Amino acid sequence: MHACHPLTSPLHITFSTLSSLLEHSWIPLSSQEKENIKKFSTDVLFSRNPNTVSRTKLSLYKLPSDLDQNKKRSLELVAAMAESRRRNSSSSSFSSLIIEGEIGDDESERREAAGVDSASNVIRGGDTTSEPAPSQLSKLERYKAKTKAQRHKNILAEEAAQICNDKIPVWKKRKLLERVASVKHGTVEFEVPGDVEPQALGVGSDDTCNTVVGNEPLDATDLRYIPLQIVMLIVGTRGDVQPFIAIGKCLQDYGHRVRLATHSNFKEFVVTAGLEFFPLGGDPKVLAGYMVKNKGFLPSGPSEIPIQRNQIKEIINSLLPACKEPDIDSGIPFKADAIIANPPAYGHTHVAEALKVPIHIFFTMPWTPTSEFPHPLSRVKQPAGYRLSYQIVDSLIWLGIRDMINDLRKKKLKLRPVTYLSGSQGSDSDVPHGYLWSPHLVPKPKDWGPKIDVVGFCFLDLASNYEPPESLLKWLEAGQKPIYVGFGSLPVEEPEKMTQTIVEAMEETGQRGIINKGWGGLGNLAEPKDFIYLLDNCPHDWLFLRCKAVVHHGGAGTTAAGLKAACPTTIVPFFGDQPFWGERVHARGVGPPPIPVNEFSRAKLVDAIKIMLDPKVKECAEDLSKAMENEDGATGAVNAFFKHLPRRKPEPSPAPAASSFFSFRKWFGCG
């Protein structure tokens, strides 16, 4: 979830008009700079045909002398390359302009190739139907041929090295990312030639991941039973929060004080589980709606950027209070000795740096570079680009939140701003990570070092306290096991249409179905169906044991519950890591290929149901369930947390109302 330029396709950048550039966050401009540029704009760009000016609504920007040089060069280049493209096009419609080619370092070469008068900074040209001057065409063709040859010789080798180079200025990284990647439907896309080897991209294994924090075996009496005050900073939906409740309860059983800081919507969920709650900013319903619309964390257009930035700013500004403010209800003081967080709680490592406490990242999807599969928020098909995809996604996220993070560092944390990309999201990258999935479903990649753990799925036992309604029990007993269909807390664009599709698919296959209404509003039927039961809410660990198969959005928690219950699974991914889980489920043989939500149809659901009813698929589901039987992800996460804590013993908290805290510079690679 970050603000970045909505790149449209690999090696192409599209602007509806040059004017839109002024409103775009990719090249930040103050309101005064925008006004200065507008004052200097002119309508002579297409002087040979004045009608073209009004038709395309483009204007040439004569840039003021007081404009920052980097911004000036960027705007100038966009205008120049857009005009070159316009001249070379036979089309009379310019609703969008495509800017192609490698950006050379030599200013005169860029100007020459684009046909720009270097003295006046004015782009001269004709109307959309006029032929460009031969000299101008030949220069442009030579320039494009040169850059094309450079580009196809090795499309990403040099770029990959620059993306991973922390000394490259931010504005250069932005240009580089424009050139090599695109954001489409909320995910990052880029291409790698088939003959390029991973080592040619200059992204080898991550050495920092292979650094062991202490070699001596863990003595539980050193750390595990010393009372600590631990804060968990968790951003996301209920499915993101639930695993951390299980981890928090396990930590609490060891005698630690655990504060789970998350969105206010989940206060009752957290408090009922017996954990201390603290509110974080951001609304999960807004975040979920944003991510469904954009198919991921990354904005797909300028209109989405303010929504996303406002949510992130609220989250970032609430992190520090969550680590040190007294309990809101009881007033009992709190000061974190250690932090557990998930990656979308942007700013977590910076807060840990300011408080000088250790931090451990846990997540339900891969966030650590590997050559075995791409980043879940990327769409790269070539294995050579898998590892690079993590660096590109991380860079795009960092560039989108950098200003907010530095504002936090300077104003709240009293830290120096981060000038360049430095490790993961601008903070220390030498942080232990734990992944909350079964190694029987996705084994730990071979290029992940000892600071990375795959601990297993975390299950929260909700079934023991659940009292099902009598109507549900009677319906379940009245016939064969049903197929569950539900999309949790995700909003559905056309709930009535989707509900009808589900009902028709069940009827065609002769199956009974349970439809979970969720936040999406599923279940509004014109008339009741005896083979359909509409469900408001029910613990998955209770319900899935009574189902023959499940169809859901592919959240990690729901996926885990279905697999644990030995249910063949169909995943209908909306965004984020959900396509990743859909692919893993299919690869493991426990379900059909995923059905993206925008491709959901009766025919595809019918085919998926038929696959799930195949005895071979059921056998695979039972084998996987048996392999997962003895896994305890919550205990595994706690073990990983203590395994990576600094070995120096902290002073125990003298009383619940106060606490000492870790101050180990080595934890942050400072000593």
Angle among Cα 548, 554, 556 to the nearest 5 degrees reads 100
Q: What is the pLDDT, as a whole number, of residue 663?
A: 28
Residue 599 has pLDDT above 80, yes or no: yes
Tens digits of residue pLDDT in 152-169? 334 455 666 666 666 666
Identify the CA nearest to 585 among candidates 619, 616, 562, 613: 562
Residue 88 has pLDDT above 80, yes or no: no
Of 61-75, 217-231, 617-631, where does mean pLDDT reach its minimum?
Answer: 61-75
Q: How far is CA 217 from CA 95, 212, 642, in A?
A: 65, 12, 11
Beta strands 532-535 and 182-184, pairing class = unpaired
Q: What is the pLDDT, as a whole number, of residue 174?
A: 65
Of 193-207, 418-432, 495-509, 643-657, where does mean pLDDT reach its minimum?
Answer: 193-207
Q: What is the pLDDT, as a whole number, of residue 494?
A: 83
- Report the C-alpha gap between 283 and 289 in whole angstroms: 10
549 backbone φψ class: left, alpha, beta (φ>0; ψ -120 to 50): beta
| Domain 207-457+632-668 fold | Rossmann fold (3.40.50)
- Report the C-alpha gap between 385 and 197 in whole angstroms: 9
Question: DSSP states of 347-410 as a string?
Answer: THHHHHHHHT--EEEEESS--S--SSS--TTEE--SGGGHHHHHHHHHHHHHHHHHHHHHHIII
Q: With bands split at pLDDT 50, 70 and 90, how would you rate the model's confidence at 171?
A: low
- For residue 382, the one-letter residue type is Q
Q: Which residues contact 516 (CB under 8 A, 6 or more apart)?
A: 484, 485, 486, 487, 488, 522, 535, 536, 537, 538
Please give the biggest Cα pair distance in the chain. Answer: 85
Residue 267 has pLDDT above 50, yes or no: yes
Tens digits of residue pLDDT in 122-136? 323 333 333 444 444
Q: With bands split at pLDDT 50, 70 and 90, how would you rate the model's confidence at 388?
A: confident
Q: What is the pLDDT, as a whole number, of residue 285?
A: 76
Residue 553 has pLDDT above 70, yes or no: yes
Q: With bands split at pLDDT 50, 70 and 90, how would you rate the model's confidence at 238?
A: confident
Q: With bands split at pLDDT 50, 70 and 90, how would you rate the model's confidence at 24?
A: very low
Q: How far does Cα 186 stand from its chain's mean position?
A: 8
Q: What is the pLDDT, as a whole number, of residue 183?
A: 63
Integer-rounded Cα radius of gyration of the chain: 27
CATH superfamily of this structure's domain 467-628: Glycogen Phosphorylase B; (3.40.50.2000)
In this structure, what token pair is assigned to residue 344?
């979308």
Tell me what the mean pLDDT of segment 26-41 comes to.
48
Tens digits of residue pLDDT in 359-384? 999 999 999 999 999 998 888 888 88
Highest mean pLDDT among 74-88, 575-589, 617-631: 617-631
Helix/strand/coil for 14 = strand
Q: What is the pLDDT, as a whole number, of residue 335?
A: 97
Residue 664 has pLDDT above 90, yes or no: no
Q: What is the mean pLDDT of the chain?
A: 72
Cα dihedral 481→485→489→493 (10° resolution):
-160
DSSP 129: T
Q: What is the pLDDT, as a whole number, of residue 310?
A: 86
Percent of the chain with pLDDT over 70: 57
DSSP 236: S
Domains 207-457+632-668 and 467-628 share a fold: yes
Tell me what the mean pLDDT of segment 457-475 comes to.
88
Buried b (16+ CB within 10 A) or exposed e, 5-30: bbbbeebebebebbbebbebbbbebe
Domain positions in the chain are 13-153, 207-457+632-668, 467-628
Residue 293 has pLDDT above 90, yes or no: no
Angle among Cα 242, 297, 562 to the nearest 5 degrees reads 35
Of 195-204, 497-506, 536-545, 561-570, where does mean pLDDT reach its minimum?
Answer: 195-204
In this structure, what token pair is assigned to residue 39?
């004052």
- Report the C-alpha gap between 239 and 365 in whole angstroms: 12
Q: With bands split at pLDDT 50, 70 and 90, how would you rate the model's confidence at 241?
A: very high
Do the Cβ atoms of 612 and 550 come closer than 8 Å?
Answer: no
